[in-house]
Structure 1
Amino acid sequence: MATDTLSVTFAALADPTRRAILARLAQGPATVKELSSPFAMSGPAVSKHLRVLERAGLIARGREAQWRPCTLEAAPLKAVAEWAATYRRFWDESHDRLDDYLRRLQGREDDDGHRA
C-alpha cells in the first residue's frame, strides 16, 4: 500500500528533533556536524533523522568539495499548510461563535458586574 506524501511529511514532522533540525535549516544550509551539535545523540542517530527528512522531501543533501550541506526543501511544508488551511473556516466560525457568546454574557451584566 502506497503512503501519500502528506502522511510521510506528517510522520517526519512528528519528531521534535527533526522539527528542530528543520528550524535550524530555515536559517540556511548546515553540515551534519552543525546540525548534530545541539543534540545529545550520536552522529549516526542524527543521520537517521536526516534520512527520514530526506525521504519526506523536506531536506536535500548536497556536495561541495569536502562540505556536504543540508538545505531545507519547503514544498512539503506548503502542502501541510494548505491542508491545515482547509480547517481555518471551521476555527474562524468557532471563534466567532465564542465571541458572540461572550458579548451576550457581557451584555447581561451591569456596570458593577452584577447580572441585570
Structure 2
Amino acid sequence: MFFVGVFGIQDKTKEIHREQNVICPVCGSYDSYQLFKTYTYFHFFFIPLWKWNYRFFIKTRCCNRFCQIDQEIGTRIEKGETVIVSDSDLHCPGTGELNACQRCGAQLEPDYNYCPQCGNHLNNWP
C-alpha cells in the first residue's frame, strides 16, 4: 500500500474587511484600505487542526503599503464591530523613508526623480 503523508504547516491570509473613505496613514491620500488576517496553521489531510500566530494588516490602495494593526482591534473588526482606527493603532514599517509613485504605487527612494516601474516623472515631491 502506498501512503502519501499529506500534512504540514502553512501560512494563510484572508481578507476580513474593506474600509472606504479614509485618510491613508502612510501618504495622507483620501482613499480606502483592506484589512487582512494572517495566521499559521497545521493541517492533516487538508483539514486545519491548530491555528496560531494571528496578525492583522491593512493594505492601502493609494500607495500599496502594508501596516500591522493591533490584534485586539483587528479581532473586534472581524467580529463586526464598528471601530475607528487611529494612526497610533498602526505600525507601518518604513513610514517616511520611502515614497510611493502616484501612478503605479511602486515604493521609491526619496531621491528618485523618475519611477523605475512606470517612468512617471516625480518632480512634484519636496
Normalising by structure 1, we get a TM-score of 0.22
Greater RCO, 1 or 2 (C-alpha within 8 Å, sep 6+): 1
Higher normalized helix content (fraction of residues):
1
Normalising by structure 2, we get a TM-score of 0.21
Higher normalized strand content (fraction of residues):
2
Larger Rg belongs to: 1
